[in-house]
Chain A
Amino acid sequence: MKLRKALLFWYSLLGLIVFLTVFSTIFSPYSPNEMNMDEIYSAPSSDHWLGTDHLGRDVFSRLLEGGKVTLVVASGSVILSLFIGIVYGGISGYFGGVIDTVMMRLLEALITIPALIIILVFQVIVQGGMWSMALLIGLTGWLVTARIVRSEFIRLKEEEFIKMANMLGTPVWNILWGHLLRNSIPAIFVVTLFNFAGAIFMEVSLSFLGIGIPPTIPSWGNMLYYAQNDILIGAWWIGLFPGIMIFLTILAINFIGEAWKNPERRRVND
């Protein structure tokens, strides 16, 4: 009972964050890029709920707009890595044998290289915008998904209903799509949730280093990039709030993911 209530809380918190950021244009009192040189570094007040930054921009408005950017980049990358992961893991798990061995050895090697390093390499050569960021995070984030899909496929392949389907001459495509993939959905969902949290971490980290999303676009990471210097002169509000938003978002995702990992906790209402 208590667990379900807690879970409901995390669902609503995540929902609220997504809702506020998606409709950021309605809720933000100022334009996120509107500068006001008379009001730089003003502390939180009734005019500016969360204060202003070094260019006099409203932190609250930027927080909502930045959240949209961060979440869109994370979503885009997760969709991409989900797709690659399913295809790679699916091929490896379905065919098995030498193909599986080779593909898994390659995956093991790739998993050993810090994703951040790979992204840094590509960022230095083609520093792009939001979408190239999503592309890069997606291209490096599919490894765990592929591993899960493969192990699910291998497990399911031995089940009787799959053997039966094979015997009855069900088309391969149908087996892959209707039986193997559909039965792997719960496991894929959990790993994708954690992947989403990981993608947010990655975008935020890169933008924080100043090599992620271009500084002209507000994102939670970019806001923290400037906060590094602002904090030294005592402007704590610029760094505090984006961090809290990142923390709460990832916290909510992690708690939801943990609940989904244990099937008995999964149901919210009954």
Chain B
Amino acid sequence: MIGKWIGKRMVMGLIVLLIVSFLSFFIMQAAPGDPATAFYGGNAQTLTATEKERITRAYALDRPVAEQYVAWLGETVKGNLGISYKEGRPVFEIIRERLPNTLLLFGVTMFCIVLGSFWLGTVAGMKANSIWDKGLSTFSIATSSIPPFWLGILFIYIFAVSLGILPSSGSGDVGGNGGMVDKIRHLMMPASVIIVTHVGIYARFLQESIKRENGQYYVKVARANGVMERSIRNGIVRNASIPYLNYIAMTIPSFFGGSIIVESLFAWSGIGQLTVKAVVTKDFPLLMGSIMVTGILVVITLFIVDLIMYAIDPKLRKGGIR
């Protein structure tokens, strides 16, 4: 059963990656000059005739577009993402350096958001018509209306320019003088901007989901039979967290989109900032690589969320509708 289900999700992920790869390949085709130049950038002039010949053969540049795509995809899967125009280094290497920063930012923010929204949502959802209940609705609409990067600008003005207690940009270096503390200091502003602008809306979704479950017949029956409030609460939260997880899965893509902007505002050297830099400097191989990596990140994250949902939801385990 689980094998079939995982297979289905994986096929979906592969379709997504295929579309992302079309997008990436499209950049190569649309970039000025011939694709070999697009791929090797500034280094293209230094290539000798035999090397050019080799590239042409490797990428099937003398063949129809469909075959070119297959050849390019083959190289990409092998990890050959070309050479960056500006840095003259393999794109793969640059991305590998940047990836931990993005994962750190994503991990920390997602963890805090899930933790915070779970707590807020449960409190507000279980106490219907309390101040928590009404307050959270307004709070979530208000915070989700703030453009994250604008909040970032305000934070920079307050904490970096006026108070001077936090660095305005950069991502710190664990191996540097500051060590781990430096890294955390750099992480604080970008992470808190993302958390503040997202936690409310997720909490609200859980709150509404809990309120819906709370009104269900099975809860009423359990209460009438004197089941302990704590186990009722556990049951409700468990059932309510399935649509909540689904909501997280649905918003993951825009979450990655949002972190691109926050990363570049704070010069947090992750994949997002890299993508924007690649667009601004028209560094095509770098852009292609970072798009592919973002696509892979999204697909993997969604797959993990799916697995958690599978573990929680018995309907899925029993092969129910999805």
B142, B145, B280, B287: which contacts A210 (Cβ < 8 A)? B280
Give the complex CA separation of A231 and B156 in angstroms: 8
Asked whether A205 lies within 8 Å of B261 as measured between CB atoms, the reply is yes
Asked whether B291 lies within 8 Å of A121 as measured between CB atoms, the reply is yes
A228 within 8 A of B: yes
A108, A113, A123, A231: which contacts B161 (Cβ < 8 A)? A231
A111, A112, A224: which contacts B150 (Cβ < 8 A)? A224
- Interface residues as binary, B282-301 with A (CB distance below 8 Å gives 1, 0 otherwise): 10100100010011001100
Asked whether B142 lies within 8 Å of A113 as measured between CB atoms, the reply is no
Distance between B202 CB and nearest chain A CB, rounded to angstroms: 15
DSSP class of A's interface residues: helix, strand, loop or mixed?
Answer: helix
Known contacts: A113-B295, A205-B261. The answer to whether A239 contacts B154 by CB under 8 A is yes
**Which range contains the number of B residues in contact with the other chain?**
35 or more
Asked whether A255 lies within 8 Å of B141 as measured between CB atoms, the reply is yes
Contacts of B294 in A (CB 8 A): 114, 117
Binds A, one of B13-21, B80-88, B172-180, B210-218: B13-21
B153 within 8 A of A: yes
- Interface residues as binary, A232-265 with B (CB distance below 8 Å gives 1, 0 otherwise): 1010100110110011001100110010000000
B265 within 8 A of A: yes
Known contacts: A108-B12, A255-B141. The answer to whether A117 contacts B19 by CB under 8 A is no
Which residues B272-322 have CB closer than 8 A to chain A? 275-276, 278-280, 282, 284, 287, 291, 294-295, 298-299, 302
B26, B253, B280: which contacts A211 (Cβ < 8 A)? B280
Distance between A225 CB and nearest chain B CB, rounded to angstroms: 10
Distance between A147 CB and nearest chain B CB, rounded to angstroms: 10
Give the complex CA separation of A224 and B294 in angstroms: 26
A120 within 8 A of B: yes
A111, A123, A246: which contacts B147 (Cβ < 8 A)? A246
Known contacts: A109-B19, A117-B275. The answer to whether A236 contacts B157 by CB under 8 A is yes
B222 within 8 A of A: no
Known contacts: A117-B294, A246-B147. The answer to whether A239 contacts B12 by CB under 8 A is no
Asked whether A204 lies within 8 Å of B279 as measured between CB atoms, the reply is no
Max count, chain A CB within 10 A of own CB: residue among B142, B161, B279: B279
Asked whether B153 lies within 8 Å of A125 as measured between CB atoms, the reply is no
Nearest neighbor of B201 in chain A, beta-carbon distance: A254
Asked whether B156 lies within 8 Å of A247 as measured between CB atoms, the reply is no
Contacts of A120 in B (CB 8 A): 275-276, 279, 287, 291
Give the complex CA separation of A120 and B23 in angstroms: 11
B168 within 8 A of A: yes
**Which range contains the number of A residues in contact with the other chain?**
35 or more
Which residues B127-147 have CB closer than 8 A to chain A? 137, 141-142, 144-147
Give the complex CA separation of A121 and B279 in angstroms: 8
Distance between A50 CB and nearest chain B CB, rounded to angstroms: 16
A13 within 8 A of B: no
Distance between B276 CB and nearest chain A CB, rounded to angstroms: 5
Which residues B36-60 have CB closer than 8 A to chain A? none
Distance between B161 CB and nearest chain A CB, rounded to angstroms: 6
A113, A125, A197: which contacts B19 (Cβ < 8 A)? A113
Contacts of B168 in A (CB 8 A): 232
Asked whether A112 lies within 8 Å of B298 as measured between CB atoms, the reply is yes
- List 27 A-B pairs, Cβ < 8 Å: A108-B12, A109-B19, A112-B16, A112-B302, A114-B254, A114-B257, A114-B260, A115-B257, A116-B257, A117-B257, A120-B275, A120-B276, A120-B279, A121-B26, A123-B279, A124-B282, A205-B149, A208-B147, A208-B261, A209-B261, A228-B265, A232-B168, A239-B154, A243-B153, A247-B147, A250-B145, A258-B141
Shortest beta-carbon contacts, A-B, top 7: A243-B150, A116-B257, A114-B257, A251-B145, A250-B145, A114-B253, A125-B30
Please give 9 more A-B residue pairs, beta carbons under 8 A apart, in addition to A112-B253, A114-B260, A232-B168: A116-B261, A120-B291, A121-B26, A124-B284, A124-B287, A208-B149, A209-B261, A211-B280, A239-B153
